[in-house]
Chain A
Amino acid sequence: MDLLLAAYVDGVVEADDRRFVEAHLSECAACREDVARQRAVRRLLTAQGRTASGVVPPGLETRVAARLAAERPPAVVGGWGIRVSAFAAAALVVLAAGAVLLPVVTSRSTVVLAAQLALDHLKCFVLEPHDHGETVTVADAEAELKTDYGWDLAVPATGGTPDGRLVAVRRCLYGDGRAAHILYLVGGDAVSLFILPGLERPTEELTLLGQDGVVWSRDGRTYVLVGSAGLGSRLHSMASNLRNGAE
């Protein structure tokens, strides 16, 4: 009966048990008294329990937050508030300073291609000055690609995921500017879609500089999708959606 009474007081007893308890209560004054007391205690605790424990010491929250912040690896906040690991950002600085530029069109290696584009992805999102309010419509992006490259290309509006947002279209630094670089923000993560003319390549997935990349070719163009490794399977489903022409 102890077990059931507590549950009865809390109103979580099942229908059959409730009838059983109520039948008993109708005959047992001691138990009725007990239920009333338990309810009174419960009301009191709900109302006063926390305040009886006093106020939170000032500064505790700050101290806890600071301690947790110290647990995280040091990171760089780049353009658009993107967090990039300090390692990747440092590597990027070294490479950009060394002006490592290889013509994309002559590169046979998908790894080299992806590495160059991963660098450009990081460079555009981390190092370049940007305008916080910068957005670009699909129409603008397509017009730009037509003007700059002579391409009639449908620009995916969200990059293959519902919460993707188109933010910019750039001429890619590498490959003599022959690659189009479309920048998206997915939640707080940066994703780049590069489109290059020609180069039939088998579909591949790679990881470099903390970024994941998916490479595929279609209709005489090569596509490379690059995003933070933290995106995990999101990036791959975005690539699938784009490949299958979901947009």
Chain B
Amino acid sequence: MKLRVVRARAERFGGIVEVERPRALLHVDRAMMRELGHPESPLWREDAGTDAPLSAPTEVHIVLSRRCAAGCSGCYVDATPHGTALSLDEACRILDELAAMGVFHVALGGGEALELSYLFDVAAHARSVGMTPNLTTSGLGLTAADAERCRVFGQINVSVDGVGEAYRRARGFDGFARAERALRLLRAVKQEVGVNCVVSRTSFGNLSAVARFVRDLRLNELELLRFKPVGRGANLDEELTPEQARRIYPLARWLMLRHRIRVKLDCSFAPMVFWHRPSARAAAFWGVHGCVAGDVLAAVAPEGHLMGCSFAGATTIDARVPSAVRAAWPSAFASFRDFVRTAPEPCAGCEYLRLCRGGCRAVAEAHGSFSDPDPGCPRVQEWCARNGARTSVRANRSSFSLPVVRG
């Protein structure tokens, strides 16, 4: 067996190589880069152990539009039927720039990306410049012809926040049958099809049914995404309770073993995972991190702004302007990148700080301060309970009156 390297780029520690089968990104040291025949990089003259960010993100989420007819009650981009969208030309220009920087993957989403007539042209362009396009969709309007064209994507995940009636309760409309049909159409043409499930206070109790659904349709992954109180979600009282936050990691493990499916938790769940004290060495090797916005990850808004991630860190940098992202990247996102160095307690004293990075910045920002520890972290909650620290939480989120630490 030989792992075929399809793309590689140098980093201070060595480099990142993309292999095709199994599809993976591998961080390797300088010696391995040399063994693989990569030319010497100026980056290798710098300190390999530095905490400096990557030379470019490995993945970028392009929010193609705020356009979607579904009207989900918790939509984080506040999408509407006539929302803003990047044009095909703008999207292609952004892709050109990202490819030149060495970005490996782009995640296309919205809004509902399938509502854009040029979605497949955008995906084809990403392929043509060497990046893997991936897609998140509600699947609501997907036709058999669309499914066939979806071969151009790497991974496609369809949003299913509950099975049957639970879908309606979670999203505010009855779309489960259409989402299931989309999944069946997609699975008929490709293997890399999975489910995204937003884990909210309401949907938490129905995760087993979603996992069974993923198994029954022979999908390749279930990705559990933490509910974040941004966009229209800011008006909902759906953040996990402290008890649910403690249970999510054991539950994900149980779902994986019970249904024999691949289960992933998004980066914002990192504090809930590290509270269970997993092996830090294993976590580092498998790339288990908290907030990697402005480092591993970046996002582009439909208005063209570069962001740390799709939920937070909007900048004034216009990604549609040639070379703007490349020029800004080394010094942008200081507020994300400095968190580990400047973290307040209890993050400062946490052995997992360099991995967890203080949890989700978007959630912290939604609760009052971007630079606070994540208020959903069980460790933060325990620390605050011991120290009597507490902060006011907006009235409409009174049932999530968790204490937040001020640095």
- Chains A and B belong together in one complex: no
Residues of A within 8 A of B (CB): none
Give chain B's interface residues, CB within 8 Å of chain A: none
